[in-house]
Structure 1
């Protein structure tokens, strides 16, 4: 029984080591980790929270003033104000804003909070796009490394085959040298690809806020399944869901609310004061109440307030033009991403269903012909290179297809599954 337990523990240890060395990186898990740990997003979340605190600051009254005043104290009593004073006044003073001023500013800041939240969503979409781009690039590099390793083994067999043909008089030494040269080029390319892989892994680690030298696992094969999409539907979804548009609409509402708040500055604030007067020379004390107003529209002060209103109205116009500019840019981004997606998707299918099978068939027939002495070794090399390029181009098409899809998702403001859900609910 102890031996069985020991064997099971040993196997579990071996499997854990194997899984660490052959860790599979799933895109959904990577994105979730980025959304939780990316420092840009963490900073943006704190920024949203900070903006929320501005509402309480802007809608609160000014703090009251409490004071004491010593009056009619003889000069001979200086510096003691309590000595022989005739009167001591105690007062409480409060500035009361004109009704509606603070609520208007609070409304403006509430729109600012909503705008900041949409800016956070925009940044989140950007980070997701960057993670996907690096993920798909790593996929392509790892496939190039795989193909390179396979081709090194393949070329070693070519070297042996060319050597055998040379030894029996069916080939020449140039064939051996060509095969050895191709093998050397593949080995050199493999080392270059390893450097590219480390660079891309470092980029992903930075996006995930991992230590830069952290090991990153293997990207599994990508099964591309993209249902038919129409440009008109995507444009409608982008107008409804793109966070940049929502942020700019909130910016317009914020500027309009600030304009209303600026116009309310025309109205006077109210200053109130209650005072208790302690009289030293009489038995009777006194009290008083003061009410005062400020007058913003006096000739020497009105320019400050009218200019502020003018500024806010111009900000509204500026925001409206920026919104229209963003709408135009989004139409372009959606169209560009849509065209690229369709192009690369068709190219990927062409390589998968036609080009690669034909290239492999050509290579196999060329090898068979070389083995029987019916063709030159150079033809084998050419067929091999054609097959190699077809496989690399296929994986590049997969990468470009998925990158185009990621760009389209960012342009629309929704993930593919959400796009499909929105279409089905229409």
Structure 2
């Protein structure tokens, strides 16, 4: 199930396209600006002005200009762009962990629902048997009509509970099929023999969480990218270049053609220019420090919460063991004794129904505790990404 979700879920495929989009931008990171070309006139007199000689007619000018970026800047920009996809990849891992946890939750709910259904069908069979005995005894004045009706009512309640549980199972299966991106009506079987148990991680500390948590890795990637962005901004202190060529074709035949060739360099270290990138570098440095502090706070909170979960899960596991080995068997024996006494006409049906209801209540308490136990296991494994 988890493999199909990883391979087919559309929300994960979205990130594949985003990663390709980030990688595609890398190819353009070292691109230059487009060249500029132009045509015009140079030192051309206004119409109607009297010319002293042919040389005053001016010239036609053809120009070409190209900005040449600093190669160090281009290299820093390319590294920054290359790192962007690592953040998106980490985001995909975070989403995959959430989907995996949701799938486990649904599957465990199906296990609980099937266990509930077994209890409910057994309880219905018991009440059907009690009702039949009451109906047989009533004509011989060995039971009251009210007892027959009471058994009948409890029987209908049992059937309603079974209908609700069967509906819940269908809903959970639809949700599982949706996660696997399959037709919602696709049928599958749940391995009801699957035993869920809690096994705490032996070496659980902040280092373990930092190594395994995808959201922490995403934060690490974001911090790395922020560092590359700072380096890219620091390169703004380096100059850029420009080259310009102009060809002047004189309108006077006696005048020679001329050209201009200029090389230019920017001076970004002047105070009125350097304020921009220096302030950006300072701002991003503070932001990176804030992200590091946030990461440490998250790790500390996660560790405390996960350790607390371990304690609760160990306690809940003991409670469930008591239910399975002591409480439910004892109540079941009590019900069987009451049923035997009723069959031997030593007990009335009301006592049997009270015992039956006690068993039902204990079973539902057990089911509720089991569901909480499974949900906490899902949350625990989601926290440590196991």
TM-score, scaled to structure 1: 0.78
Q: Secondary structure at the match of 1:246?
A: helix
Alignment CA distance shift 1:154-1:226 (3 Å): closer
Please give the per-residue CA displacement for 1:318-370, whole angstroms capped at 9, x wherever unaligned: 21122122212321342243234323332333222223322222222221111
Is 1:143–2:115 an aligned residue pair?
yes
Corresponding residue number in structure 2 for 1:250: 221
Kindly report which structure 2 residues correspond to 1:9-408, keeping only aligned pairs within 5 A, or say none.
Answer: 30-71=1-42, 87-211=59-183, 213-224=184-195, 226=197, 228-230=199-201, 232-233=203-204, 236-278=207-249, 281=253, 285-408=257-380
Question: Can you give the 5+ residue segments of structure 1 that lack an aligned partner in the other structure?
Answer: 1-29, 78-84, 415-426
Alignment CA distance shift 1:234-1:387 (3 Å): farther
TM-score, scaled to structure 2: 0.85
Corresponding residue number in structure 2 for 1:15: none
Q: Secondary structure at the match of 1:219?
A: coil
* Length, aligned pairs only: 378
Find the aligned partners of 2:78 and 2:188 in 1 and give their Cα distance: 49
Shift of 1:251: 1.4
Q: CA RMSD in A?
A: 2.9
Shift of 1:168: 3.0
Shift of 1:233: 3.1
Question: Can you give the 5+ residue segments of structure 2 that lack an aligned partner in the other structure?
Answer: 49-56
Find the aligned partners of 1:112 and 1:263 in 2 and give their Cα distance: 19
Shift of 1:203: 3.0
Corresponding residue number in structure 1 for 2:52: none
Shift of 1:222: 4.4
Shift of 1:406: 2.2
Alignment CA distance shift 1:109-1:348 (3 Å): farther
Find the aligned partners of 1:94 and 1:205 in 2 and give their Cα distance: 58
